[in-house]
Amino acid sequence: MSEPILKLNNLCTVFHTARGRFTAVDGVNLELFPGEVLGLVGESGSGKSVTLRSILRLVRPPGRVSGEVRWRGRNLLSLSEPQMRQVRGGEISMIFQEPMTALNPVLPVGEQIAETLREHTELSGNALRQRAIELLELVGIPSPKERLRDYPHQFSGGMRQRVMIAIALASNPKLLLADEPTTALDVTIQDQILKLLLRLKDTLGMSVILVTHDLGVVAQTCERVAVMYAGRIVEVAPAAELFAQPRHAYTLGLLNSVPGAGSTRRPLIPIPGAPPDLTALPPGCSFAPRCAFATDECTAQRPPLMDISGPESPAVRLTACIHHDALSAAGEVTR
Amino acid sequence: MAAPALLTVKPRARRRLKPSLVAGLVIIGAFVLMALFPQVIAPYSPTAFDYQAVLQGPTAKHLFGTDNFGRDVFSRVVWGAQLDMQIALFTTLFPFLFGTLIGALTGYYGRWADAIFGRVVDIVVTFPFLVLVIAIVAVLGPGLKNMYIAVSAVGWITYGRLIRAEIRGQKRAEYALAGQVMGYTPARIIFRHLLPNAITPAIVYWMTDMALGILLGSSLGYLGLGAQPPTAEWGVLIADGKNFLATAWWISTFPGLAITLAGVGFSLLGDGLADLLRPRG
Amino acid sequence: MSQTILRVEGLSKVFPVSYSVVERVQGRPRRAVRALTEVNLEVRRGETLGIVGESGCGKSTLARCLVRLYDVDSGRIVYDGLEVSGLRGAALRQYNRRVQMVFQDPFSSLNPRMTVGQTLREAILVHRLRKPEQVPGRIRELLELVGLPADAENRLPHEFSGGQRQRIGIARALSVEPETLIADELVSALDVSVQAQVVNLLLKLQEQLHLTVLFVAHDLRLVRHLSHRVAVMYLGRIVELAETERLFTAPAHPYTQALLRAAPELDPSRKSVVEAVKGELPSPLNPPTGCPFHPRCPQAFERCSKEVPALLPRGPEGRWVACHLLEATP
């Protein structure tokens, strides 16, 4: 495999609040390769969205980001704010779950695309307008020329998400960060948007980090997956291998708790309890209190992310589960 | 099947009292004590003339000085607290209760009840509050009782609007719908479920309104339309001293300060209550 | 099992949209959202009927009409021989005791100022289901039934997690000993790992208490897992109704087919690159003529844009489909 274009080294995001100090992102190490779609999955509070925001330094006080974000030879965390603005919405773009709050409600969408084009390209006048129409066409908005003058509220939820993607693509980014881009959408529209993202990724040669809680979305869109739990990455694997044979007890539990075809009205296998409070994490492996495989070793100290790639597998597999061998023996995915 | 393990409940969070609540309680508490036991706190009778000590400045003997009849200003301010606290309560209690009731009913039922209420509000808000009250008092005649009637006739509107807006928001919440599906009567849903969740702004406003009530009572007292001299009422006290402002500033100044302090106290109390009554979650 | 407990006939519900003075002056027609159009449905005693569809399909409106949170514009709802659509006052409250609802939002569906015990006590006492001295025992019983610790009784909703709050909502519904439970997006606000806990609880309770359940949801996997039969809705109408496995393995209506194709599968080896269906959901303010799905349907022909297909039985296995394509092959 080629060199990674993005590398997160010991990324930490800590919030100091009245309720106490909590670590939303806790020592995340992650690599992203050119042209790949990496899924970042986890449940609420797992730190997946904060990780994404931390890459672009979009975390507001009382949050503080530390560690290293290596992007094309530079550490984004040590850039000045003007330099960072060139990266943000330039080389790296981001799309959000709720386009209605990310778009300016009182500006026509054509104007919002033009704004980004002026900021990040040399285009002006008619060429700029032409490019805006092209972008709307690219994301599949019918009669783009007429729709330039429309305001965000005149678009449906799916079309709004397309507009936001068009704005994100205006600067020809090399990396697209997508934060739950289809969570607010209906399933047939979600399907359209995901397929659109994959098509655009191929034609424009971007890499994508897709944050989602939906395992189905991951299975259908991502080549590689990183699973997060309580602010830490617990497993990294190619999507096919992760779904076939999870090597972390949490991933296994997650897959088992989703109903599969043909098991109608049989009890599911839930993960007991609820995700931990980030201000009071259990010692050692954060998942240990809910884990059927947990032993004293798990609570003694925090297990590191270990490389368990076998000789037969060319792709890197990482897990932070001490009992990853026991998993493959005891707990096949019950689908 | 056994209940899943680890069904622990989140620990209870302790809540600290806000400083504004404590300060408000201390100030208003002091005034309430004065109102309840003026004979204990005031060193002199509020109406006893003493021609030996006319227009004396503040001294150890007369803390706030004396007026042109030799009456002790401190004692008059203390006795005034009794009347002004009474005014604060009586100008606002009926508006609070009645406005809350009307606001809750119109907010819940909407439609024609709401339409009628809306028109009444439109009519009342077009008149300036004070002018309207003065007009009513002018018709009924001066005096405290008529002032209460006048203020109540107008004041409930604000509470009604506050509660109506809150109830309209709350009745769409799923717990209110759940109440309907549980087969509860509208009265139970309104008074047991919606109102406790809707009343906070009205209570907070009530505190401010008590301060406004004192101001209004004092203003009317000053104008001769409220409490009648020689009754010790802060507005009347200020009016008493208005001819002596240049020579004996203390006669008007100390009751004025009392009004200000009471206003600040009620505001702090309202602010602190708003925080205390906010549902946790 | 096959006895019908709830029958819905020709149910329609329209929500008027606010009509501004400007629109009135311009002479524009008054607009309205057609939330439900001519819905027919039968629910059998003891079954779980899944109702599935995308936003604006009317599934939540249907659920709310059934518990009479909304008044019905036309059509009938007959529950166990009782005409429900015109019930008022005490008779309606008595009906609601028998047909209960669990809501979607774990945060707003509980009164934030009442403890769990107060919430349950109120329900039990209002309907006089226990003598006052028996209430504490019944509360403990209910808490145990839904898998909450006994010390939950004296706590306020904000002290619980989302999954626990949904359990409280279920306990509240069960406190009045209903026969039918309508669950509107019961677990959609919960994390996946917690969803499974609540789904298991629902399965257990249904077996234990012989409940009839209407499971309204947008999540196809969950609906498939829980339901005996499934109704698919699109733009205020039921377009297909069938036994769960038949519907999922061999969907008949083009919309059902598209919906199933669009739902992301958990198997990465079964990826597709083409969209399951093109186009947007039409606005219920301005629904298309004829079949509501025809503008997006790849197989639509002339008749589809003119005539609304009726929901008719297709095949011997109790499948109902509303599609002109199938009319040729009964």
Task: Among A78-87, B2-11, B252-261, C265-274, name the one with the lowest average pLDDT.
Answer: B2-11
CA–CA gap between residue B251 and residue B68 (Å, rounded): 9
* Closest CA of chain A from B7, distance in Å: 6
Domain spans in chain C, listed from the N-terminal domain onward: 4-234
Q: What does the pLDDT read at residue C117?
A: 95
Residues whose CB is less than 8 angstroms from the CB of residue C256 and which lie 6 or more positions away in sequence, other chains included = C232, C239, C240, C247
Domain assignment of residue B144, yes or no: no
Q: Is the pLDDT of residue C330 over 50?
A: no
Quick: pLDDT tens for B204-216. Answer: 999 999 999 988 8
Cβ distance B10 to C122 less than 8 Å, yes or no, reads no
Nearest one of A139, A116, A151 to A193, comparing CA atoms: A139
B5 touches chain C (CB under 8 A): no
Model-wide pTM > 0.90: no
Do the beta carbons of residue A228 and residue A51 sit within 8 Å?
Answer: yes
Domain assignment of residue B53, yes or no: no
Q: Is the pLDDT of residue A331 over 60?
A: no
Helix (H) or strand (E) holding A306: strand A306-307
Q: Is the pLDDT of residue C329 over 80?
A: no
Angle between helices B234-241 and B250-277 (to 10 degrees): 150
Contacts of C94 in chain B (CB under 8 A): 183
Do the beta carbons of residue B117 and residue B106 sit within 8 Å?
Answer: yes
Q: What does the pLDDT read at residue A1?
A: 54
Q: How confident is the model at residue B126 (pLDDT cuts 50, 70, 90)?
A: confident
Cβ distance B182 to C169 less than 8 Å, yes or no, reads no
Domain assignment of residue A317, yes or no: yes
- What residue type is assigned to position A189 of the chain? I
Q: What does the pLDDT read at residue B7?
A: 45
Total domains present in chain A: 1
Range of the domain at A236: 227-330
Residues whose CB is less than 8 angstroms from the CB of residue A1 and which lie 6 or more positions away in sequence, other chains included = A33, A315
Quick: pLDDT tens for C213-249. Answer: 999 999 999 999 999 999 999 999 999 999 999 999 9
CA–CA gap between residue A290 and residue A234 (Å, rounded): 14
Contacts of A255 in chain C (CB under 8 A): 266
Domain assignment of residue A264, yes or no: yes
First-last CA distance in chain B: 31
Domain assignment of residue B27, yes or no: yes
Quick: pLDDT tens for B90-120. Answer: 999 999 999 999 999 999 998 788 888 888 8
Q: What average pLDDT does range A237-247 have in this prediction?
A: 91
Q: Using an 8 Å CB-CB cutoff, list residues of chain A that contact chain B.
A: 19, 267, 270, 272-274, 277, 289-290
Quick: pLDDT tens for A157-197. Answer: 889 999 999 999 988 899 999 999 998 889 999 999 999 99
Rounded to the nearest integer, the mean pLDDT of chain C is: 91
Q: What does the pLDDT read at residue B15?
A: 60
Q: Is the pLDDT of residue C61 over 90?
A: yes
Q: What average pLDDT does range A77-101 have in this prediction?
A: 88
Q: Is the pLDDT of residue B62 over 90?
A: no
Minimum CA–CA partner of A277 in chain B:
B10
Contacts of A272 in chain B (CB under 8 A): 4-6
Q: What does the pLDDT read at residue A329?
A: 64
Quick: pLDDT tens for B2-23. Answer: 333 334 555 555 566 788 899 9
Rounded to the nearest integer, the mean pLDDT of chain B is: 86
Domain assignment of residue B243, yes or no: yes
Range of the domain at B31: 19-45+64-122+156-212+239-277
Do the beta carbons of residue B89 and residue B95 sit within 8 Å?
Answer: no
Quick: pLDDT tens for B190-201. Answer: 999 999 999 999
Domain assignment of residue A47, yes or no: no
* Closest CA of chain C from A27, distance in Å: 24
Quick: pLDDT tens for B27-40. Answer: 999 999 999 998 88
Find the angle CA(A146)-CA(A148)-CA(A152) to the nearest 5 degrees: 115
Domain assignment of residue B28, yes or no: yes
The structural architecture, per CATH, of the domain C4-234 is 3-Layer(aba) Sandwich (3.40)
Total domains present in chain B: 1
Q: What does the pLDDT read at residue B31?
A: 94
More confident residue, B214 or B1: B214
Which chains reach chain B with 3 or more Cβ–Cβ distances below 8 angstroms? A, C
Task: Among B132-136, C91-95, C291-295, name the one with the lowest average pLDDT.
Answer: B132-136
- Reported for C231-234, long-range contacts at CB under 8 A and 24+ positions apart, including other chains, are C231/C41, C231/C49, C231/C50, C231/C51, C231/C52, C232/C52, C232/C53, C232/C256, C232/C259, C233/C51, C233/C52, C233/C53, C233/C57, C233/C58, C233/C59, C233/C62, C234/C53, C234/C54, C234/C57, C234/C292, C234/C293
B14 touches chain C (CB under 8 A): no
